[in-house]
Chains A and B, each alone.
Chain A
């Protein structure tokens, strides 16, 4: 068995990314779509940190990962506020049933 290196982390992150995309495109519930987005962001983060170790970039990759985590927190907060509002207006959060901009 080969020594664990850069490629192993890249493959894990590619599979995680694909699973996240699968969650985004197949799930009806808006909260589930958000979970898929979190998986995609995590896989991107894994790539940043992996290249910070195996590329010659010092700690810049880890800084980028920190920024992505902060932006993910901000994005989740706003998205859940919007989802709550949609639920109050339409009493459903299924993304395929919400096709009006107003009531």
Chain B
């Protein structure tokens, strides 16, 4: 068991334990802060997989953007003053059964049941940012431009929807 394995199990534990608390804690604010640790854990797994740029983007966009947005959503849609930050649950028992079935099928049939051809590819040891940037403006340039337009549409659309007066 080398250091890579130990770090993997550490990050996997952080990710899964905090993800479990995200979906089981009653308090929404606690869920949001547990989501922070889930995102950090997933970023660590990306680093282990040699995806350093994706890991940095994960931390910047998810932790710096999406999580803050979700926290704002929590604060704007709950009356903080009369401690109403709890969230109810419904149909827990059928959901537990269904999700356990789903997880079992996913893990034992789909993932472990398939003979994945596992080839160690030569992802550069130094940094992937240069190669990713080159791919973005050659092979994937159309998707790149479309995503730029999409972000502009989202910027305008979100502002318009959120500001609409009655």
- Name A's B-contacting residues (CB within 8 A): 1, 3-12, 14-23, 25-32, 34-36, 38-39, 42, 45-46, 49-50, 52-60, 62-63, 65-67, 69-74, 76-78, 80-85, 87-89, 93-94, 96
Contact = CB atoms under 8 A, between A and B. Distances in A.
Nearest to A5: B118
Contacts of A84: 73, 76-77, 161-162
Interface in B54-112: 54, 57-58, 61-62, 65-66, 69-70, 72-74, 76-77, 87-92, 95-96, 98-100, 102-103, 106-107, 110-112
A8 B166 contact: no
Nearest to B86: A29
Interface in B1-46: 1, 4-5, 8-9, 12, 15-16, 19-20, 22-23, 28, 31-32, 35, 38-39, 42, 45-46
Contacts of B100: 18
A76 B71 CA distance: 12
B161 to A, nearest CB: 4
Contact of A27 (B51, B89, B151): B89
A57 B49 CA distance: 14
Main secondary structure of the interface of B (DSSP, over half): helix
Interface in B95-140: 95-96, 98-100, 102-103, 106-107, 110-112, 116-121, 123, 128, 131-132, 135-136, 139-140
Contact of A46 (B42, B107, B150, B162): B42
B117 to A, nearest CB: 7
Interface of B: 1, 4-5, 8-9, 12, 15-16, 19-20, 22-23, 28, 31-32, 35, 38-39, 42, 45-46, 49-51, 53-54, 57-58, 61-62, 65-66, 69-70, 72-74, 76-77, 87-92, 95-96, 98-100, 102-103, 106-107, 110-112, 116-121, 123, 128, 131-132, 135-136, 139-140, 143, 147, 150-151, 154-155, 157-159, 161-162, 164, 166
Given A38-B35, A78-B154, A85-B161, A18 B103 contact: yes
Contacts of A87: 76-77
Given A14-B103, A27-B89, A35-B32, A4 B8 contact: yes
Contacts of B135: 59-60, 63
A65 B35 CA distance: 19
Nearest to A42: B42
A58 to B, nearest CB: 7
